[in-house]
Amino acid sequence: MARRSLQPIYWDGDAVMIVDQRVLPHKDKVLRCTTPRQVIQAIKKMAIRGAPAVGIAGAMALALGAQSITAADPKTFRRKFVGLCDRVRAARPTGNNLGWAVEAVYSVAVENPDADVPTLQRLIREKSQQILEEDIAINRAIGRWGRQVIPKGARILTYCNAGALATGDYGTALGVIRAAFEADPTVHVTCCETRPFLQGSRLTAYELLHEGIPSTLITDNAAGSLMQQGKIDVVVVGADRIAANGDTANKIGTYTLAALARANGIPFYVAAPRSTIDPTIANGSAIPIEERDPKEVTHFNGRRVAPKEMAAHNPAFDVTPNKLITGIITEVGILKRPYRKNIRQALEQA
């Protein structure tokens, strides 16, 4: 399968190829994964990240694993496959798309009870590719809806990386920005560096330059001041998991931006596919928040900054309450209050 220019993951024969986002933008390194374990490690170590991209990686890990399951009959195959699904699902906890993709791939085994093992292996591999391709189409739809809320010449603020690299391609929040820029080249993007992993300064900045979108990088701390000075017209961010009531988990610091946007009368949009919505979680307080290595906080670029004895706390995500969200841009439209009802209806749509 040919790789599109910023596509972070793709099949090459029987291998899953993952663009190593830890070394971007300065190195173009691609990991060749031939076992599910390698893909799971790539997810855990953030070589691939961003909720939709992690979901796609999970689906491809299952396809790799399915290929190597030795089973004389479909029943044994399914039993072994369930164990693999559990291991893949556990790779990262907060993003909903991983569990969603695992369910989607597992349903292939359930929906084809009479298929023999080689057929199941083929169908599972095809499903992983389908999830990738559908994600790209979904992002383009999110872009078409989202550009409608971006005013002419808008100064847009975004956070973390919700771009091509975080998805199958094109991006969610950055998909909205790409679509807005295609229609109106006078927009300007402010991108926050996004401590501690720097997805903004390394990945979003790289994507914005790649697309030729006028943009400026700021420290996370500068966002409030810019809003206060009237230099931001709209905020668009991605999401990792959206509860049934619209509360949204996204990269740590998103809640701060939403509160600042509200304080300054600036619309705050979340852009995400429906696969990010978790209807089993009533509100944001039940969203599992990943705690990452404290070294990401105590060290910078591999070098210790904080004193040796200093303890650090490193939650990777926070939850923005629905009341701070102007709208949730999905592939089927922009969801507004009352979120619980409108989210339910959006999930019921084909």
Catalytic residue, candidates 135, 233, 240, 247: 240
- Which of 348, 28, 14, 25 minimizes the C-alpha distance to 199? 25
67 is in an annotated binding site: no
Q: Which of residues 150-179 bind ligand MRU (CB under 6 A)?
A: 160, 162, 166-167, 172
At residue 277's C-alpha, the angle toward residues 128 and 252, to 5°, is: 100
Q: Of 8, 50, 55, 143, which lies in the binding site for ligand MRU, with binding defined by CB under 6 A?
A: 50
143 part of the interface to ligand MRU, by CB under 6 A: no
Q: CA of 310: how far to CAs of 164, 298, 299, 300, 304, in Å?
A: 36, 8, 11, 14, 11
Nearer to ligand MRU, 101 or 123 (CB): 101
Q: Which residue reads 């992002």 in tokens?
A: 139
AA identity, residue 198: L
- Cβ neighbors of 133 (< 8 A, separation 6 or more) are 168
51 is in an annotated binding site: yes
50 is in an annotated binding site: yes
Main-chain dihedrals φ then ψ at residue 223, nearest 5 degrees: -60, -45
Q: Which residues pair with 265 in a beta bridge?
A: none
Catalytic (active site) residue 233 = no
Size of the residue set binding ligand MRU (CB under 6 A): 17
301 is in an annotated binding site: no
Site map 238..277 versus ligand MRU, x via CB under 6 A:
xxx---------xx--------------------------
Nearer to ligand MRU, 245 or 250 (CB): 250
316 part of the interface to ligand MRU, by CB under 6 A: yes
Q: Looking at 123-247, which runs of residues are DSSP E strands?
A: 155-158, 188-192, 215-218, 234-237, 241-243
Displacement of CA 45 from its chain's centroid (Å) = 15
DSSP 122: H
Q: Which of residues 195-234 bind ligand MRU (CB under 6 A)?
A: 199
Q: Of 51, 104, 192, 198, which lies in the binding site for ligand MRU, with binding defined by CB under 6 A?
A: 51
Annotated binding site for substrate: 49-51, 92, 199, 250-251
Annotated binding site: 49-51, 92, 199, 250-251
Give residues in contact with ligand MRU (CB under 6 A): 49-52, 95, 160, 162, 166-167, 172, 199, 238-240, 250-251, 316
